[in-house]
Amino acid sequence: MFDFFRHNSGPEPSMGVLNADMHCHLIPHVDDGSKGDDETLDCLKTLQQIGYKKVYITPHFNFPRYPNEEDDIVKRFERLREVVEKRRAEQGLTIELAGIAGEYRVDDGFAEKTKNKSFLKIAGKYVLVELSLHQRRMGLAETIFDMQMKGYEVILAHPERYPYYTSHSQEMEELKNAGVYFQLNFLSLTGFYGEGAQRLGLEYLKNGWVDFLGSDMHNAVYAQAARDASANKKLKKILGSHTFLNSTL
Ligand SMILES: [Fe+2]
């Protein structure tokens, strides 16, 4: 079978400069992401096609909606790894499954629930956290500073998707000054999440606040959007003119 992905000899695809994706939902049946192995394999192929060499998978930990437990998620990751290894040649997959982490929702009782918790971390180092898309959380800074005091490096997922914050928000600035990393969804920059997230994403970039880019890939719809985005001239320009920490993972 012609192996398109492995022998693509054209110019480096857009996301090649990032090397690693560090935010996606490709463990089947544990959240609103992939619905099965085939969908995950298709999404992995897309990530590879647009230039990624490796990927960290980050299912939602969001009680009670997605009441995932670390032990179970690790087992599911190992099972997925076996599936990928078995089907690598047939699928033309070279992308590495670099590790399993989580996208932890900061919600009511988060501090209490995570008191003695061992978070699943990206590259053994970073804890990815997300917020409600609708409602501002009082005491967010304290919760995150608390995590930092315990030695965690915290990445805030897609700050551009929280419409109750702006690129001038004092709270955002405080988080940045405290060393919280910001991860933008690159699809925000192409308008996938609407005009508001696109504008905010560009403003956060302009502020110099964006440390990581993520695909936040969930399924085939996101995969198609990611392929379209990889050909987007504005996004290519951003990738060429900013340095992101993805390449250090
Ligand atoms: Fe996500």
Coil vs helix vs strand at 2: coil
Span from the CA of 240 to the centroid of ligand 1 (angstroms) = 24
pLDDT in the model for residue 55 = 98
Do residues 59 and 27 touch, judged by C-beta distance below 8 A? yes
| Number of domain units in the chain | 1
Span from the CA of 23 to the centroid of ligand 1 (angstroms) = 6
Own/partner pairs for 7-15, CB < 8 Å, 24+ apart?
8/49, 12/51, 13/49, 13/50, 13/51, 13/230, 14/50, 14/51, 14/229, 14/230, 14/231, 14/235, 14/236, 14/239, 15/47, 15/50, 15/51, 15/52, 15/186, 15/230, 15/239
Coil vs helix vs strand at 144: helix
Do residues 181 and 126 touch, judged by C-beta distance below 8 A? yes
Domain for residue 6, yes or no? no
Span from the CA of 11 to the centroid of ligand 1 (angstroms) = 29
Do residues 122 and 157 touch, judged by C-beta distance below 8 A? no
Domain for residue 65, yes or no? yes
Which one, of 118, 122, 77, lies nearest residue 103 by Cα?
Answer: 122
pLDDT in the model for residue 10 = 55
Q: pTM higher than 0.85 for the full model? A: yes
Domain for residue 249, yes or no? no
Domain for residue 153, yes or no? yes
Span from the CA of 216 to the centroid of ligand 1 (angstroms) = 5
Q: What domain range includes position 60?
A: 14-236
Span from the CA of 197 to the centroid of ligand 1 (angstroms) = 15
pLDDT in the model for residue 112 = 79
Query: Looking at the DSSP assignment, which residues form a beta bridge with residue 149?
Result: none
Tokens coding 237: 């320009």
Span from the CA of 118 to the centroid of ligand 1 (angstroms) = 19
Residue 228: CATH number of its domain: 3.20.20.140
pLDDT in the model for residue 63 = 84
pLDDT in the model for residue 7 = 45
Domain for residue 5, yes or no? no
pLDDT in the model for residue 116 = 79
Query: Looking at the DSSP assignment, which residues form a beta bridge with residue 60?
Result: 103
CA angle (32 as vertex; 171, 37 as ends), nearest 5: 135
Q: HEC string of 226-248?
A: HHHHHCCHHHHHHHHHCCCHHHH
Span from the CA of 177 to the centroid of ligand 1 (angstroms) = 24
Span from the CA of 7 to the centroid of ligand 1 (angstroms) = 31
Domain for residue 93, yes or no? yes
Span from the CA of 103 to the centroid of ligand 1 (angstroms) = 6
pLDDT digits (tens, 9 = 90+) for 102-122: 999 998 878 877 777 889 999
pLDDT in the model for residue 81 = 98
Instruction: Give the start-end residues of each E strand in the chain.
Output: 20-21, 54-57, 60-61, 96-100, 103-105, 126-130, 153-157, 181-185, 212-214
Domain for residue 132, yes or no? yes
Neighbours of ion ligand 1 (CB under 5 A): 103, 216
Span from the CA of 12 to the centroid of ligand 1 (angstroms) = 26
Peptide bond into 64 cis (omega under 30): yes
Domain for residue 241, yes or no? no
Span from the CA of 246 to the centroid of ligand 1 (angstroms) = 16
pLDDT in the model for residue 2 = 43
The CA distance from 33 to 60, in Å, is: 9
Span from the CA of 10 to the centroid of ligand 1 (angstroms) = 31
Q: Which residues in the chain show pLDDT less than 50?
A: 1-9
Span from the CA of 217 to the centroid of ligand 1 (angstroms) = 7
